[in-house]
Chains A and B, each alone.
Chain A
Amino acid sequence: MITFGQIKKAVLVSIWFMFLTFPIMVIRVNPVEHIVEWRWKNMLLVGVGSFILSFVWHYFIRRKELGAQKAELGEWAEAIPLAQRIRSKKTLYKPALVAAGIFALAFPFIFSLYQTNIMASALIYVMLGLGLNIVVGLAGLLDLGYVAFYAVGAYAYALLNYHFGLSFWMVLPIGAALGATFGILLGFPVLRLRGDYLAIVTLGFGEIIRIILENWNEFSFGPSGIANIPRPSLFGIDLSVHNATIYIYYIMIGLCLLTIFVVNRLQDSRIGRAWIALREDETACQAMGIDKTKTKLTAFALGAMWAGMSGVVFAAKTTFVNPASFTIWESIIILCIVVLGGMGSILGVIAGALVLILMPEYLRALSEFRMLAFGILLVVMMVFRPGGLIPNVRRTYKFEGVANDEKS
């Protein structure tokens, strides 16, 4: 229903925007010919554009509020998103899973090497997102220095290979262990912190690792980084660049499946529930007999482990590491993946990583507006779907006389 009031509101917004953008969009001083150009056409564009945008925006806000009201009255159950509906129906879920699996396996043969390479990068972010999801999404510990563990993994492979000639497959578990160790190292000092304070300390931790790598030349070769890192070999056979890229893609598919498997099992376990309880209410969680220290440290360690592993793959994929790959910006992207995808939701994080990493790649033509699009996407998401693309669903149990549980 469009009422007069709504139109009036949109008109006012568009007038306000025309006024605001008047100095930059309309007036142009031409210093060569000493004249002032009046670009009234721009004003019209701004006016019409903001009118439509404001109208659409308010329309969706109203729809959302109406939905919330109805849900409160119990008239209308909250709209179930498509992904959730697919998940809740076994007949749909299984074929969808098989189709996704076939698509993932056939990807390198359908698309070009360039696409495969991009997809492999996106999968690295899927893994990073799933790892951070343990810390932020499940345990509720806001970690802004997650990229540090990624760096630890990447440098572990680069340095161990450089000095000792260790192969990719040997370093992969070492990277995981080192990541977990650094996770615990970070975990100890921040045990008492929460919320904003935790975020700031983890941010500092991430920067410390990067600055050490940048400045400790004898150890990490400074800003120039380490080059010529070998790609992973297949049973001792060195592959061509083309084949190695495809190989890395499959390695990433495998590692992502492993991550999904482990995270999925963890979140429905005793430990996973303890993480969620910690996120929901720290005091109550401890009063119910959960060891806060142990729970936090396992979250940090298990989260960082995946970053360590994906760091190893990253080093092997790019064959070059330097500190510039591990800036705070990377941490923020990974955090955005988790928040945008849906905190605590595995499917959500996968979707978030694919959207956030692939979108900029395919929108290279609009690269100037990349950050703008990114910002708009985040704002719109947080207003309309605060739970993320695919929000987390908690496990439900069915009881019929005797308690037997069934995953829905």
Chain B
Amino acid sequence: MEQVLKVQNLGMSFGGLRALDAVDLDVGSNEIVALIGPNGAGKTTFFNCITGIYTPTEGDVLISVKGKDKPKRINGLKPNKVTEEGLARTFQNIRLFPGMTVLENVMIGRHCRMRSGVVGAVLRGKSTIREERAAVEYSYGILEKIGLDPFVNEFAKNLPYGAQRRLEIARAMATEPFLLLLDEPAAGMNPNETKELDELIKRIRDEEGISILLIEHDMKLVMSLSDRIFVVDYGRKIAEGTPEEIRNNPAVINAYLGDEADA
């Protein structure tokens, strides 16, 4: 299987604190990969390193760009450049633009795929109008797919919680990513919403051909969704494998439930 993301030997230190240590991870095309681990294990730090919010102190983040043989190294790039390369993320604590409408939120995702500048905006020439209309249509299309089209003109802050989570996914999808990074997408959702999310993520993978890397605590969701699972604890990778393998892995059970000797 072709790999779209390959992370090698990733390390991140904050002063003396070693948040990540030699983590390897890879995501294949059309694959759903989960990253799990106890609280404070370094999962979100890992996301931040990949998406450019932090610059990792060691290691490589490589993406394979379509049409090119050589993978591209993206660590150290600014977050907006990483997004332009085709990695889009959502946040653990929802970070929408509350004072903008749902459609505008998604249109922000289109920003890096649009070109018009200040002069174009003021003169509002043909190409600007065309680009703007295309962005509106594209964004609306995504909202329809995600099932948020009834809310199109609502303020993002007025949406119900589950819808806000889905809007974050919609916004990320508008950037035309090849890999979607979801940071605890099911946090705070009720079982029904979680089930819908499960279907939505699978649909994104199947219909859009977007690979997915997600952090999640809801084990039922993780087991049902993932093709492969990576487990981290104290900044180190302690296991990787299929859901079945992870379920029976003693190191993982220890990390979550504690060593029997400790008990």
Contact = CB atoms under 8 A, between A and B. Distances in A.
A, B bound: yes
B257 interface: no
A403 B116 CA distance: 21
Contacts of B171: 288
Given A271-B117, A284-B95, A288-B109, A399 B100 contact: no
Interface in B55-114: 78-80, 83-84, 88-89, 91, 95-101, 103-104, 107-109, 111-114
A269 B103 contact: no
Interface string B138-156: 0011000000010011010
A285 interface: yes
B78 A280 contact: no
Contacts of B211: none
Interface in A257-315: 262, 265-266, 269-274, 276-277, 279-281, 283-292, 298, 302
Contact of A397 (B114, B124, B152, B172): B152
B263 interface: no
Interface residues of A, number: 33
B219 interface: no
Contacts of B104: 273, 276, 394-395
B112 A276 contact: no
A30 interface: no
A277 B118 contact: no
A232 B171 CA distance: 50
A238 interface: no
A281 B122 contact: no
Interface residues on B, range: 35 or more
A44 to B, nearest CB: 48
Given A276-B99, A281-B97, A290 B108 contact: yes
Nearest to A404: B133
A397 B111 contact: no
A396 interface: yes
Given A270-B111, A291-B80, A285 B121 contact: no
A278 to B, nearest CB: 9
A234 B108 CA distance: 45
A405 interface: yes
Contacts of A302: 118
B26 interface: no
Contacts of A270: 111, 114, 116, 121, 131-132, 135
Contact of B112 (A271, A281, A289, A395): A289
A396 B78 CA distance: 32
Contacts of B128: 269
Contacts of A279: 99
B223 interface: no
A262 B120 CA distance: 11
A284 B96 contact: yes
B208 interface: no
Nearest to A281: B95
A270 B116 CA distance: 7
Contacts of B91: 283-284, 287
B215 to A, nearest CB: 15
A266 B122 contact: yes
Interface of A: 262, 265-266, 269-274, 276-277, 279-281, 283-292, 298, 302, 394-397, 399, 403, 405
30 contacts: A266-B121, A270-B114, A270-B116, A270-B131, A272-B121, A274-B111, A277-B108, A280-B97, A280-B99, A281-B97, A283-B79, A283-B91, A284-B91, A286-B80, A287-B53, A287-B91, A288-B80, A288-B83, A288-B109, A288-B171, A289-B80, A289-B83, A289-B88, A289-B109, A290-B111, A290-B112, A302-B118, A397-B152, A403-B133, A403-B141
Q: Which 7 A-B pairs have the closest CB atoms?
A: A289-B112, A269-B121, A289-B83, A280-B97, A284-B95, A396-B153, A403-B137
